[in-house]
Structure 1
Amino acid sequence: MNSTINKISEKKSRLRKRRGVADVISTMMLMAVTITGASTLTYFMNDAFVSGNLGTISTLDSSSLNLFLLAYDTRDSITLLSLPNIDNQFNSLLCGSSCSGTPNNIPLNGGTEFIVFQVQNNSLDSIFLDDVSLNGVVYTWDSSTSGVQLDATAPLVNGKYPSDGKFSILPVGKTPIIQNESIEIQNGQIVNILVKLSALESDIPLNKGIRLLLDAGNVQPIEYLIESGDAR
């Protein structure tokens, strides 16, 4: 009788040990799945930031964006995005409010500085860039630049470049550069957007994030995060 009881006890003990081992294995597998999932999410999030793309749920799928950011140049340098004479003053920042005394001058003469970014219309139809927002400051199209040849070698006269707080649209790969006549960007077209910082814009130190919103008729503006002092 005692022998039978001992055998039953031994079997129960083995079952408890097996259940204990099974619980440990299950816990380890759950932790592995959690770590793998977290690593995958971290990879995609980092990839989104590296590409300069912050905004909507579509940022990892550029084909679903009707206006896609291809490149940008926010350096405190010269020939931004290879555009001739689009130069910033070497003052270790992107000057906005500190240059409010003569904001329409070119940067080398104390005016606010430039930012250039390049976009492509991915939609099947023309889209219209109503406005651009940088860190919450809204920029509108400068109609005085319509059909005017770009020239940023001298102080502003008759739309040779956008005035402070405004932008103009430039064709890509054409010389001389004649600024677009409207805010229309045709299907498949790639254009450069030249922004003259507003005197209301706080100075932007180098290596700081800039929140960029493009209002092109979406339910919500397309949002990107770019970096000052950077070119991509």
Structure 2
Amino acid sequence: MEASQYLALLGLWIAGIVAPGPDVLVILRNASLGSRLAGVLTAVGVMTGNLLWITLSLTGVTVLIGRADALQGLIQVAGALFLGWLGVGGIRAGLAARAARAAVPAGDGPADPGGAPSPGPSGESLPAAPPGRTPTPLRAFVLGLVTNLSNAKAIVFFVALFANVVPAGARWWENVLVFVLLVAVGLAWFTAVAWMGSVERLAVRFRRNAAAVELASGALFLVLALGLLLSAL
């Protein structure tokens, strides 16, 4: 492979992972409403899924899946059901947070669906992470992994990416280099998303508007699920 091919591959890869989608959404949600650790572990789960897609692409398996309409449709339906489950969960959490906020009598200070507020740098009360909405380390990782694998459109993306840029006769060390480059760049990006989502000032704003954040993320997941389901049908 020539240097221009590596640059083209990296450019297309960066454009694909930077575009807003379920991966970025679930990382931001866990990092802002949960914790930085939850966001980072979700990012690692997402990249583990991408690692699997990259491996399948380098071995030609994604091409075979792309040609099997029934299998691809099954993957799309499964992905739609999972994203729909995330959407319903987000809507329910948002409604519960809104009800908890409305139940706080006026004059008692800002409602905090997450429990006791923590003191901010200037002495003001900052809302804590909502209880039950911070996933355990294992759940955060699995959530990122399954969210990535449920995106059936990844098959089309990786088939197009490798078919147009990586030559079929690439040597083994060239494939290894491609693998390392894509995984390193992807992990750096998704970890950066988790870090940005957990920055204190941004996280505090998300937690103060936890109900709206959960409702919006739930609605987006439902829209993505509907799109996948219509595509499969």
TM-score interval (norm. to shorter) = under 0.3
Length-normalised TM-score, structure 1: 0.28
The higher-RCO structure (CA 8 Å, 6+ apart) is: 2
Length-normalised TM-score, structure 2? 0.28
Q: Return the index of the structure with the highest Cα Rg.
A: 1
Greater strand percent: which structure? 1
Relative to total residues, which structure has the larger helix share, 1 or 2?
Answer: 2
